[in-house]
Structure 1
Amino acid sequence: MLGQYEQGRAAAAKALVIGEDAHTLSALIMNEVGSGRLDEARVIAGRLLKLRPDFRASYARQNFPTRSAEWGDRMVAVLCEAGIPA
């Protein structure tokens, strides 16, 4: 949300070393899209859906709570852009 996508990508990549989960993969997807790496985001979205076939972009509102409905909508839209079902 701060526009620091390179730092976000690095932090999410580090967290993935510890373990792969829907939260961390979602964070990486959002930072990949934000930094203009849509192809990479789509590959990661595939990994996320393989791990959690039931995962939906709308879950971002719960996984990344924010007071702003606009930010929640933006996160959902970014995950959808990467190929995660709404």
Structure 2
Amino acid sequence: MRKTVFDGLGARLQEARTRFLVGIITTNLRRFLMNLGILSGFKTYIVAAAMVLAALGQLIGVDIPSFDGHAAGQLLMEGFAIMFLRKGMKAG
């Protein structure tokens, strides 16, 4: 198939538009992630709670795809360890 000038121009415009949209999305996403000050000091607890919930879910038979390779007991103990270690470091 023959390429015309308009095909090349259209391809370049498509690339420029894609770069522009990706730039906008990454800038806004970066700004949003950097402004999560409301979670300051609670991110560790959120991760620990997610681990404990995933472990409890596995214990009752709910299949969670991201946690397939982990044993439920190990996740539970590690989640509690992270939670209480963080609490102990804050208190001390």
TM-score norm. by structure 2 comes to 0.29
Higher share of residues assigned helix = 2
Larger radius of gyration: 2
